Amino acid sequence: MPRITHDAIVIVPGIMGSELYDTGARTVIWGIGTMRWLTEAWLRPKGLASLHVTPDERMGDYSRVQPRRLLQTPVWSPFLRGIEPYTKLVALAENTAAHRDAVMTFPYDWRLPITVNARRLAEESRSHLQNWLAHPAQTAARREAIEERPARLVFIAHSMGGLVTNAALTLGGDSDLASDTRGILTLGTPFQGSVVAANILNGLQGAPLPMPHSRLAAAAATMPAVHELLPRFLCLEDGQDVRRLAPADVQEIGGDKELFTRAQDFYTALYAQPLPNQQPVVGVRQDTAQSLTITQGVVRASDYCFVTNADRELIRDSAGAPRRMPLWGDGTVHRLSAAVSTPTIPVPAQHGALANNKRALLLVEDFLLDHDALIRGPEQGDDGIGLNVPDFVTPNSTWECVITGTDDPAAVECSIAAADGSWTREQFSFDVDCDERLSTRISLPDVGLYRVTVKADYGPEVTQLIFAGPDDLSPES
């Protein structure tokens, strides 16, 4: 069986997965992984000012910010936590393609409406396919392919990138693009939204939070994309009922009612079309916000969800209360939201690291090589571990690292390393709590970005980035 594909590959990153450049200020405003940049971006009053969507951008002038490339270094964000670079995914695609020219990466301005990026993706994918069909390497590889058909498009999309890809193929203005696409593999795409988006918008409304969370909330309130990621499933507990978010709810928690209404209109149009063939890979075993309550404008998220029966009625317990069902997810997107079609393939991994996960990369390779029997068979097992750490800490403070999915300390390897490789720790003692979870107390030595890695004997490793920021901040303009 050939170990290369003659198809054209397009890699579409998730939210915050593209480096952004301000053409007026002539500076990168998102995507530099240095500690100086992280500190200035998240811990200074105007650190994220350039990421706010301006009135001109809201009216359709998108010339100020240019997406330049996919993430090259790890970055960090409150609530979304660490976002790993796409270098391993791109390298895999290039090694699996008949030629590097068959691989296109699609950086985009993830602050903007999905439809804006979808139209551009449709145009650039069409051009990419045409160029690849005329490429000598495509002609040669086609002769060796299992099917001697012309090359088609294959999309590998992480997180919000899956929504952009689906919109490109259905609403992007190219009616033939879907038929020229062999398939889409999505990695943790929030097809029905994420409760985490509500947490992000509520950063200014709720209880006191670290400065980075309030900085993100202020910027997110201007971004159409964040409103398009709000949950659209039954998630809001309202007495003895559970309902979907309404525009008034979004306004109450700090969002923009108009942007949310536009988001609803977008999804009505998107799901009125038959979606292209796709294989969802879903993150599992991680504690994930799946529902919420709103009390006086404050969001309280919970790690359980509510499901309906065949008649689309809420499943209730014997007392008539909606039954709570914890289904986990990838720490950002719960499993049902990431499963627009079945079967899904579960991978124990955190959301920001899905595109960097070893098991997920093997699935990507099989999909690119069109090994149908391998990737479209029955779901794989859920065996694996979960990792739960804070997203923001201060140096020398003690915090708790929780590992789920096992109660055997001898079966777990845990390590923490500075992202720049300057510090590492590998020896930890664990306690077993009443929920049969392993926990250990940790402190970090200095300001920096750190990667926590946990591996069990019976499953793949799980990683999560954590940001240690200074605790002696002084206001600056």
Mean pLDDT in residue range 164-187: 97
Question: Distance between CA 41 and CA 46 in Å, rounded?
Answer: 8
Judgement on whether residues 391 and 375 belong to the same structural domain of the protein:
no
Cβ-count burial 217-246 (b if 16+ within 10 Å, e if not): bbbbbbbbbbbbbbbbbbbbbeeeebeebe
* Any domain includes 311: no
CATH number of the domain residue 401 falls in: 2.60.40.730
pLDDT at 371: 66
pLDDT above 70 covers a percentage of the chain that reads 93
Q: Residue 148: CB partners within 8 Å, gap ≥ 6?
A: 142
- Where would I find the H helices in 211-256? 211-220, 224-228, 247-252
- Of the residues 382, 405, 423, which one is the last residue of a structural domain? 382
pLDDT at 207: 56
Question: Distance between CA 86 and CA 443 in Å, rounded?
Answer: 29
Judgement on whether residues 447 and 368 belong to the same structural domain of the protein:
no
| pTM for this model (two decimals) | 0.93
Mean pLDDT in residue range 366-380: 62
Mean pLDDT in residue range 381-402: 87
CATH number of the domain residue 92 falls in: 3.40.50.1820
Question: Looking at the predicted structure, is the pLDDT value of residue 211 above 90?
Answer: no
Mean pLDDT in residue range 32-48: 86
Question: Looking at the predicted structure, is the pLDDT value of residue 380 above 60?
Answer: no
Question: Looking at the predicted structure, is the pLDDT value of residue 126 above 80?
Answer: yes
* Residue 167 and residue 263 in contact, taking contact as beta carbons nearer than 8 Å: no
pLDDT at 97: 97
* Any domain includes 336: yes
Mean pLDDT in residue range 130-150: 91
How far are the Cα atoms of 114, 134, 232, 250 from residue 267, in angstroms, in the given order?
10, 36, 9, 17
Question: Looking at the predicted structure, is the pLDDT value of residue 2 above 80?
Answer: no
* Any domain includes 474: no
* Any domain includes 90: yes
Judgement on whether residues 145 and 272 belong to the same structural domain of the protein:
yes
The confidence band for 192, taking pLDDT boundaries of 50, 70 and 90, is very high
pLDDT at 272: 93
Q: What is the mean pLDDT of the chain?
A: 91
pLDDT at 145: 82
- Of the residues 365, 382, 399, which one is the last residue of a structural domain? 382
Least confident of 194-198, 371-375, 432-436, 442-446: 371-375
Start-to-end CA span in the chain (Å): 60
Judgement on whether residues 64 and 94 belong to the same structural domain of the protein:
yes
pLDDT at 39: 86
Q: Which letter does DSSP use for residue 54 in this model? A: P
- Of the residues 366, 382, 398, which one is the last residue of a structural domain? 382
pLDDT at 376: 45
Judgement on whether residues 147 and 284 belong to the same structural domain of the protein:
yes
pLDDT at 341: 73
Judgement on whether residues 427 and 337 belong to the same structural domain of the protein:
no
Mean pLDDT in residue range 45-73: 95
Give the chain's domain count: 2
How far are the Cα atoms of 218, 224, 303 from residue 319, in angstroms, in the given order?
41, 40, 21
- Identify the domain containing residue 423 by its residue range: 386-468
Mean pLDDT in residue range 314-342: 92
Model confidence over 400-445: pLDDT tens digits? 999 998 888 888 999 999 999 999 999 898 998 767 789 999 999 9
* Any domain includes 41: yes
Judgement on whether residues 377 and 394 belong to the same structural domain of the protein:
no
Mean pLDDT in residue range 347-374: 88
The confidence band for 36, taking pLDDT boundaries of 50, 70 and 90, is confident
Amino acid at 348: P
Model confidence over 237-262: pLDDT tens digits? 998 999 999 999 999 999 999 999 99
Closest by Cα among 412, 417, 440 to 428: 440
Judgement on whether residues 360 and 446 belong to the same structural domain of the protein:
no
Amino acid at 230: L
Judgement on whether residues 41 and 133 belong to the same structural domain of the protein:
yes
Question: Looking at the predicted structure, is the pLDDT value of residue 5 above 80?
Answer: yes
Question: Distance between CA 161 and CA 18 in Å, rounded?
Answer: 11
Question: Looking at the predicted structure, is the pLDDT value of residue 375 above 50?
Answer: no
* Any domain includes 210: no
pLDDT at 377: 42
pLDDT at 372: 57
Question: Distance between CA 189 and CA 203 in Å, rounded?
Answer: 23
Judgement on whether residues 378 and 443 belong to the same structural domain of the protein:
no
Pairing mode, strands 8-12 and 103-105: parallel
Query: Between 128 and 460, where is the model more confident?
Result: 128
* Any domain includes 104: yes
Judgement on whether residues 260 and 409 belong to the same structural domain of the protein:
no
* Any domain includes 477: no
How far are the Cα atoms of 79, 140, 199, 231, 442 from residue 250, in angstroms, in the given order?
18, 54, 11, 11, 36
Mean pLDDT in residue range 286-310: 94
Judgement on whether residues 394 and 371 belong to the same structural domain of the protein:
no
Question: Looking at the predicted structure, is the pLDDT value of residue 209 above 70?
Answer: no
